[in-house]
């Protein structure tokens, strides 16, 4: 009896994973063919790099101090572009309504969207970081491999909350303005941790370990919170 | 219940004026009678008296936000409309009190610290709390009425999750770059404590009063909206169906 129940549970998990994979692949394919989000994000963050670079024209030492803030602010604003169109795409032809009435678990849809956005923003970061290094003459004095951890945890923090609040803001009037209004206040601790960790690694003045642990905890808490609340938000009527 | 309202209004009015007078007046002796006021602080002088508005407002705001969280969680579990109104009302009044805190703080800090603002632990966490609740009110304003309670309750829960992170991150942020901000510790004069507590009581009563009237107003508003919806449904069912969509 328990074996059968376990088998059923396993099958359910398999279905959930299948839905996640299918939605993720669909989003990636759409993006691969249209390249809407990634192009606008890239151009936007390129503009931020150029504008900040010539308006401040910092020395190598100064840019180590401020680069953490600049990089993450650029990525944050660029990520909003991708996040805003995550759910807007599903509103056309009532895809989201169809999803709501289907028995598919809402959290697998959420995870697919989060993973998709994570990949978009990670690609953006991988392409933009060399530009930042060139324009700001950056060289890490601290342990540079920790920057990978900061980038991974930081991007996850932005994307998981961003996807959740994007699902909230498509329910409001003036959708596109609503997302940053909701996302930024909640993200302040994560942004602070990312900026401080990056500055700590680049300048080598202090250890970034505390900030990385804080980011990981933030990710854990907010991923759990979003997963628990997503069904409520998706079905809010 | 309704008969209690005017009594509470009078009580709060008297308490507020008493609290204000003891907060603003120094200790006066007239012909052997000691009128109890708050003693003037030795180093800061009269500027310190803003403390009697600043601290009680902060406490009241935090209590209101805490009630908001409780009501939001209750709404998520039970879907009870009253809990939603409580959450709305406490967030609104809480934001007002939090604004008082954020305005009186710099007014005091400028003459005492010499700066209007610093990224200190308490200042920053209060500011972030204020930002979160303002975004909460924005969400309530901009979402369509049927979904507002659920979305707002979800945001309130996530916002509350954020508060410990703000507190810890700022705490570490500042211990890394120490700044002489406030001479910590030190005990408070019992007469000052008395004035502080009386003010807090008065502020809490006032907040409760405002919440209560706002609660009644919101309830009536919702009844009116419902009546309008019902009437348009009876007059023209097809138009109502369209507007519902």
Q: What is the pLDDT of residues A133-191, one digit of tens each?
A: 888 877 778 788 888 999 999 999 999 999 999 998 888 887 778 899 999 999 988 99
The residue-averaged pLDDT of A4-12 equals: 73
Residue B17: per-residue pLDDT: 85
pLDDT band at B33 (very low <50, low <70, confident <90, very high): low
Q: Is residue B113 part of a domain?
A: yes
Chain B residues with CB under 8 Å of A172 CB are 139, 142-144, 151
Chain B: residue whose CA lies nearest to A228: B154
CB distance A216 to A155 below 8 Å: no
Domain range for A10:
2-235
B76 compared with B194, residue with greater pLDDT: B76
Query: Picking from A30-34, A215-219, B5-9, B23-27, which range would have the lowest pLDDT averaged per residue?
Result: B23-27
Q: How far is A178 from chain B (nearest CA, A)?
A: 8
Would the CB atoms of A232 and B132 count as touching at under 8 Å?
Answer: no
Q: Is the pLDDT of residue B179 over 60?
A: no
Using alpha carbons only, what angle is made at residue B46 by residues B42 and B51, rounded to the nearest 5 degrees? 95
Would the CB atoms of A161 and B150 count as touching at under 8 Å?
Answer: no
Q: Is residue B186 part of a domain?
A: no
Chain A: residue whose CA lies nearest to B150: A236
Residue B237: per-residue pLDDT: 65
pLDDT band at A219 (very low <50, low <70, confident <90, very high): very high
CA distance A75 to A77: 6
CA distance B46 to B183: 18
Q: How many domains does chain B have?
A: 1
Q: Is residue B185 part of a domain?
A: no
pLDDT band at B27 (very low <50, low <70, confident <90, very high): low
What are A's interface residues with B at a Cβ cutoff of 8 A?
161, 164, 168, 171-174, 178, 181-182, 184-186, 188-190, 192-193, 196, 206, 210-211, 214, 217-218, 221-222, 225-226, 229, 232-233, 236-237
Half-sphere exposure of B14 (CA within 13 A, CB side): 5
CA distance B180 to A86: 46
pLDDT tens digits for range A91-111: 888 888 888 888 888 899 999
The residue-averaged pLDDT of B90-102 equals: 94
Residue B130: per-residue pLDDT: 93
Nearest to A233 among B131, B151, B168 (CB): B151
Residue B143's φ and ψ, nearest 5 degrees, are -90, 155
Q: Is residue B14 part of a domain?
A: yes
pLDDT band at B35 (very low <50, low <70, confident <90, very high): low
Length of chain A equals: 237
Domain range for B137:
4-41+48-178+191-240
Would the CB atoms of A222 and B143 count as touching at under 8 Å?
Answer: no
Nearest to B147 among A186, A226, A236 (CB): A236
Would the CB atoms of B169 and A173 count as touching at under 8 Å?
Answer: no
Chain A: residue whose CA lies nearest to B166: A189
What is the reported pTM?
A: 0.85
Q: Is the pLDDT of residue A83 over 60?
A: yes
pLDDT band at B181 (very low <50, low <70, confident <90, very high): very low
pLDDT tens digits for range B49-92: 888 888 889 889 999 999 999 999 999 999 888 999 999 999 99
Burial A98-112 (b: 16+ CB within 10 A, else e): eeeeeebbbbbbbbb
Query: Picking from A28-32, A140-144, B31-35, which range would have the lowest pLDDT averaged per residue?
Result: B31-35
The residue-averaged pLDDT of A1-12 equals: 68
Q: Is residue B26 part of a domain?
A: yes
Q: Is residue B132 part of a domain?
A: yes
Q: Is residue B173 part of a domain?
A: yes
Q: How many domains does chain A have?
A: 1
């Amino acid at each position: 009896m328990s074996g059968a129940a376990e088998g059923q549970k396993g099958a359910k998990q398999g279905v959930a994973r299948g839905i996640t994979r299918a939605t993720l692949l669909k989003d990636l394919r759409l993006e691969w063919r249209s390249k809407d989000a990634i192009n606008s994000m890239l151009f936007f963050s390129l503009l931020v790099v150029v504008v900040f670079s010539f308006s401040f024209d910092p020395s190598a030492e100064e840019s180590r101090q401020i680069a953490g803030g600049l990089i993450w602010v650029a990525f944050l604003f660029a990520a909003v572009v991708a996040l805003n169109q995550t759910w807007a795409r599903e509103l056309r032809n009532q895809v989201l309504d169809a999803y709501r009435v289907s028995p598919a678990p809402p959290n697998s849809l959420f995870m697919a969207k989060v993973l998709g956005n994570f990949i978009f923003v990670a690609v953006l970061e991988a392409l933009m970081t060399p530009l930042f290094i060139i324009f700001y003459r950056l060289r890490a004095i601290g342990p540079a491999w920790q920057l990978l951890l900061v980038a991974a945890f930081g991007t996850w923090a932005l994307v998981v909350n961003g996807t959740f609040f994007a699902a909230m803001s498509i329910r409001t009037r003036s959708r596109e303005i609503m997302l940053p209004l909701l996302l930024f206040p909640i993200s302040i601790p994560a942004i602070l941790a990312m900026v401080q960790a990056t500055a700590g690694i680049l300048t080598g003045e202090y250890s970034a370990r505390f900030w990385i642990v804080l980011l990981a905890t933030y990710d854990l808490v907010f991923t759990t919170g979003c997963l628990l609340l997503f069904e409520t938000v998706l079905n809010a009527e | 219940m309704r008969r209690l309202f005017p009594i509470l209004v009078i009580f709060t009015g008297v308490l507020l004026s008493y609290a204000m007078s003891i907060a603003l007046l120094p200790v006066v002796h007239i012909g052997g009678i000691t009128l109890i006021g708050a003693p003037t602080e030795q180093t800061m002088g009269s500027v310190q008296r803003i403390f009697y508005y600043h601290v009680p407002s902060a406490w009241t705001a935090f209590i209101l936000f805490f009630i908001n969280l409780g009501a939001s969680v209750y709404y998520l579990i039970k879907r009870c409309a009253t809990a939603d109104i409580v959450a709305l009302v406490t967030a609104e009044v809480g934001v007002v009190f939090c604004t008082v805190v954020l305005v009186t703080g710099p007014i005091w800090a400028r003459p005492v610290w010499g700066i209007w603002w610093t990224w200190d632990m308490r200042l920053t966490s209060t500011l972030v709390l204020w930002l979160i609740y303002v975004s909460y009110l924005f969400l309530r304003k901009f979402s369509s009425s049927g979904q507002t309670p659920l979305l707002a309750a979800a945001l309130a829960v996530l916002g509350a999750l954020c508060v410990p992170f703000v507190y810890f991150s700022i705490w570490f942020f500042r211990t890394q770059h120490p700044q002489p901000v406030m001479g910590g510790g030190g005990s408070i004069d019992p007469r000052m404590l008395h004035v502080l507590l009386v003010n807090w009581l008065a502020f809490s009563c006032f907040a409760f009063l405002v919440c209560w009237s706002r609660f009644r107003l919101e309830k009536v508003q919702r009844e009116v909206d419902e009546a309008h919806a019902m009437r348009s449904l009876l007059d023209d069912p097809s138009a109502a169906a369209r507007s519902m969509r």
